[in-house]
């Protein structure tokens, strides 16, 4: 009799064990000669060496399955343990999976252009109205790079532009003041990574979320770097950000030129950067439009109504 420990690295143990430990109970039934107990992300196995080796091989395949698909079903467990073929490769077109097991992939032609541009270039500008999925898809690409180990870290940034509420009037310390600006980035990450793992990655600075002002003086290497809401950067800010790029790094800059919150006298850094850099080799520019909106159908109608209003206002000037 020997004892070994199996650690569920990089995955949510709840997905592996199943609701009310139903997967764990099934695994125990399929390995009756082993004594299997679990606590947090560590499984303790007691039994003979031959059965132990078979269990370890199957458990690792199940762990890899959860890592790829963020889900594990009873039929997957049976197929893996009985040696039958199970889906091992992520289907073409799928970037990664949400925590509920939903595939994240392009839903429009322009979203696919964003994925292709990311693969072909080291820097990509994704510009379009609200709801076109540019931020969510960009973060999915970054999470995939982290899982595939083509990047060592993810760095997400946003300009902390005051839109109706002064930073100084918000309660709490500096972190509390800037967190509301970064919440959409947290939301997307929580949809794609286990909560415990996400917290661990942030504590270890594998995933970093910070206002644009905190980027000055840094060189960002071995990373996927995303600048969100870039329309609210000044020309000096976006120039500073773009020149932070280091070795083995990819940058995605997203923005909506119809939602600029800067003072009317201040030029948007995104608009200037698109004018200056659109023809530079190694930089891809993808423009999404209202046909790419994948939120509630009312979002498309709202965008259309505001576009019509802006055109009418400009024609009356």
Q: Mind listing the pLDDT tens digit for each residue in 78-122?
A: 989 887 755 555 677 899 989 888 899 999 999 999 999 999 999
Mean pLDDT of 207-211: 86
Average pLDDT for 268-284:
93
pLDDT of residue 249: 95
**Average of per-residue pLDDT values in the chain:** 86
- Of 48-57, 230-239, 241-250, the one with minimum mean pLDDT is 48-57
Is residue 102 within 8 Å of 265, Cβ to Cβ?
A: no
Q: Which pLDDT score, from 0 to 100, does residue 230 have?
A: 93
**How many CB atoms lie under 10 A from the CB of residue 216?**
10
* Residue among 225, 220, 151, 218 nearest 185 (CA): 225
- Give the per-residue pLDDT at 123: 96
What pLDDT score was predicted for residue 285? 95
d(CA 260, CA 233): 9
**Bridging pattern class, strands 153-158 and 223-227:** parallel
- Is pLDDT at 182 greater than 80 in this prediction? no
Query: Would the pLDDT of 13 be above 60?
Result: yes
pLDDT, average across residues 166-194: 71
Over the stretch 243-269, which tens digit does the pLDDT of each residue have?
999 999 999 999 999 888 888 888 999
Q: What is the pLDDT of residue 163?
A: 43
User: Torsion angle, CA of 123/128/129/135, rounded to 10 degrees?
Assistant: -30
Read off the pLDDT of each residue in 215-238 and give the average, rounded to a whole number.
91
In tens, the pLDDT along 153-176 reads 999 998 876 444 444 555 555 556
Mean pLDDT of 225-232: 93
**pLDDT at position 159:** 85
Please check the confidence at residue 77 and state whether its pLDDT lies above 50: yes
């Amino acid at each position: 009799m020997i004892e070994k420990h199996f650690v569920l690295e990089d995955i949510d143990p709840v997905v592996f064990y199943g609701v009310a430990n139903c997967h764990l109970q099934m695994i125990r039934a399929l390995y009756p000669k082993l004594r299997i107990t679990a606590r947090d992300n560590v499984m303790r196995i007691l039994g003979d060496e031959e059965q132990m080796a078979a269990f370890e091989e199957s458990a690792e395949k199940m762990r890899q399955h959860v890592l790829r698909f963020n889900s594990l079903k009873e039929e997957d467990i049976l197929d893996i343990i009985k040696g039958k073929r199970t889906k091992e490769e992520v289907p073409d077109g799928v970037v990664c999976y949400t925590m509920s097991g939903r595939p994240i992939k392009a839903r429009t032609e322009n979203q696919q252009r964003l994925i292709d541009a990311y693969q072909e270039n080291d820097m990509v500008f994704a510009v379009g109205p609200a709801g076109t999925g540019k931020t969510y898809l960009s973060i999915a690409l970054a999470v995939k790079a982290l899982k595939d180990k083509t990047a060592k870290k993810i760095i997400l940034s946003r300009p902390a532009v005051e839109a109706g509420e002064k930073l100084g009037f918000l309660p709490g310390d500096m972190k509390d003041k800037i967190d509301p600006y970064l919440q959409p980035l947290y939301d997307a990450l929580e949809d794609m990574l286990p909560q415990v793992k996400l917290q661990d990655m942030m504590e270890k600075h594998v995933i970093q979320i910070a206002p644009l002002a905190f980027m000055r003086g840094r060189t960002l290497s071995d990373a996927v770097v995303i600048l969100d809401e870039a329309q609210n950067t000044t020309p000096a800010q976006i120039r500073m950000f773009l020149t932070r790029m280091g070795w083995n790094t990819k940058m995605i800059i997203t923005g909506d030129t119809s939602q600029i919150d800067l003072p009317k006298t201040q030029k948007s850094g995104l608009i200037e950067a698109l004018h200056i850099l659109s023809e530079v080799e190694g930089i891809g520019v993808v423009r999404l439009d209202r046909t790419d909106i994948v939120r509630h159908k009312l979002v498309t109608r709202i965008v259309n109504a505001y576009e019509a209003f802006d055109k009418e206002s400009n024609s009356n000037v």
